[in-house]
Structure 1
Amino acid sequence: MTRSTTLITPLTASQRRIGAHIVWGLSNSEIAGEEHLTLETVRSHISTMRLRLHCPPRASRAVLAHTLLRLKQVPPPELTLRHSFMPDTEGQRLIHALAEHSPRGDIARAAGIPTGALRTRTDGLVRQAGAANVPHLIGLAHTHGILGTDETTTTPPPPNGPAGAGR
């Protein structure tokens, strides 16, 4: 993920509420129910958030969650005993890759794992963290200081052909 040096447009209060739900791992339908909005309104808010934060339109929800937290537009999830975890170096590398890349091949290359093992390792990390899903895992990683405004980034994936290669 390329970080823009362009100033962001701060989010509205409604967009921050929706962003907080994303960081907690809620789906668009769950957000719509919680906020008493239509699904289309939630989608529209998320699309506008991506524009305001200079987040690529096709970026994963994990990348969006990381951007929201890195730019301090929403607070990270609160710690609970259930969410106390500290992944090993490989797990931390995978968390960084999930936060910074959207295509599976790019995530796998940045994490240094085979593309075929990505889902299994990601699911294991989500379970280990007690997270609902990957965006929630990213939120918890910010809460635990694994990710933050000054975190070291993964190296960009090597140019081994298109992102879908090796699937």
Structure 2
Amino acid sequence: MTAPAPITPLTPAERRIAQHAVNGLPARQIAVTETLSHHTVRAHMLSLRRKLHCPARCSLAVVTHRLLSANEATVPVPDTPAPDLSPEQTNLLKAVTEHSKPLDIARGANIAPADLRAALDQLLADAGASDTTRLVAWAHGWNLLTAEQTSTERSEPVNTSPVPTAAGQSPAPLLQRPAPLPPVYEMRSLRTDAERAEAAALVQDRQRWLALRGLPVPARADIPALFRDPQAEPAGLFEDGLLLACMILQREPDLGWGEGPCLFLGHVHTLPDRSDDMIRLITLWASDFAARLDLPRVRADALARHPLDADPIARFLNRLTDMGWDLRGSGTGQTGERVARLELAAEHRPGLDALVGCSAHQSRSAADERSVA
């Protein structure tokens, strides 16, 4: 059993989301209850998983156990009295709090994998629980689980089987090298209708967030519709399957400004509550990606209905220049709206692929309206 790493305390918003999850609400119902978009709920869930050291592979039952053990959520009151579990069922319950994969649960409970489904069904029936997440939450209410248990996954066993050797030689243990960790983030083309629809929904959420704060949004183009169009070849930045940002990548477009070829980032939209972090990450990635394409510059533009030295655009542009972008004045965008023009030097960044994987198209030229929102 690996020692549990200390968790980072959750924010009040994350605790509310966590409590709903422990109480059995699905993500979309949580969104309705909290008056949030489902993207924001997913972002909160991703953040609290990270703080609990429960990656995406961890089941919600494991996450629930970790939350309740760390007192980051209130233990729900069970609907039924505590069941009289057998020792074998108690072991199975504990295995469910520690493991997510069926094979690992079976091993942890010392049950034959073929018998696991029947044993779980019997445990749920005896406890009166509809699923393993509800079972774990109620088990805390029945005091069947001690606080010392953690929901961190067990370490994968290391293969120490002796290597066959010639007679008279001592066998040497064979240690398996751990597989390299996948990148934390992934930039990839949005290839399916579902992914493009998710990007369109993110754009709508972002534009709604901007409008509620009196910030400008494009008025002369249907940007969500552009992301639904497969011909636009949209791309998205993901973390554990969650779409964090989306954009249109274009190579050497005819912008009417700037010298030399470039990679253009069009229609960049991020989750409302993670804008600066995502723009900073996109900046690093785009600089490196352009360098790999032998393009000397990255360009983008930002909707600017106010003078560039006046708020709110001035604060935004200052943050971008702090990230390495150069302001190249302003002009009229493709839809006739005024934009600030931005440029970034391409730069190879060794090691960045360990942070951001990339399977995006190498972009194309287009004459669509472009904006950074």
TM-score range, shorter chain: 0.7 to 0.9
> Is contact 2:66-2:150 (8 Å) kept?
no
Match of 1:98 in 2: 96
Q: Which has the larger radius of gyration?
A: 2
Distance 1:151 1:48, change over 3 A: closer
Distance 1:65 1:152, change over 3 A: closer
Write out per-residue CA displacement over residues 11-48 of structure 1, whole angstroms, 9 at most, x where no aligned residue: 11221122122222222223223322222222111110
Moved more, 8-17 or 33-42: 33-42
Matched, 1:41 2:40: yes
Question: Tell me, what secondary structure is at the counterpart of 1:120?
Answer: helix
Aligned pairs for 1:26-65 (under 5 A) are: 26-65=25-64
Distance 1:40 1:89, change over 3 A: same
Match of 1:112 in 2: 110
Distance 1:109 1:133, change over 3 A: same
Q: How many residues align?
A: 157
Write out per-residue CA displacement over residues 45-84 of structure 1, whole angstroms, 9 at most, x where no aligned residue: 111001112223321111100110111101111134x243
TM-score in terms of structure 1 length: 0.81
Please identify runs of 4+ aligned residues in structure 1 that moved more than 4 A. Answer: 156-161
Paired amino acid for 2:104:
D
Question: Tell me, what secondary structure is at the counterpart of 2:139?
Answer: helix
> Is contact 2:2-2:155 (8 Å) kept?
no
Distance 1:149 1:121, change over 3 A: same
Q: Report which of the two has the higher share of strand.
A: 2
Match of 1:78 in 2: 77
Match of 1:140 in 2: 138
Q: Which runs of 5+ in 1 are unaligned?
A: 162-167
Q: Report which of the two has the higher share of helix.
A: 1
> Is contact 1:83-1:130 (8 Å) kept?
no
Task: Indicate the percent of aligned positions where both proteins have the same amino acid.
Answer: 38
> Is contact 1:9-1:52 (8 Å) kept?
yes
Question: Tell me, what secondary structure is at the counterpart of 2:67?
Answer: helix
Q: Which runs of 5+ in 2 are unaligned?
A: 160-373
User: What is the CA–CA distance in structure 1 between the aligned matches of 2:52 and 2:150, rounded to whole Å?
Assistant: 20
Relative contact order (alpha carbons < 8 A, sep ≥ 6): 1 or 2 greater?
1
Paired amino acid for 1:46:
M
Match of 1:18 in 2: 17
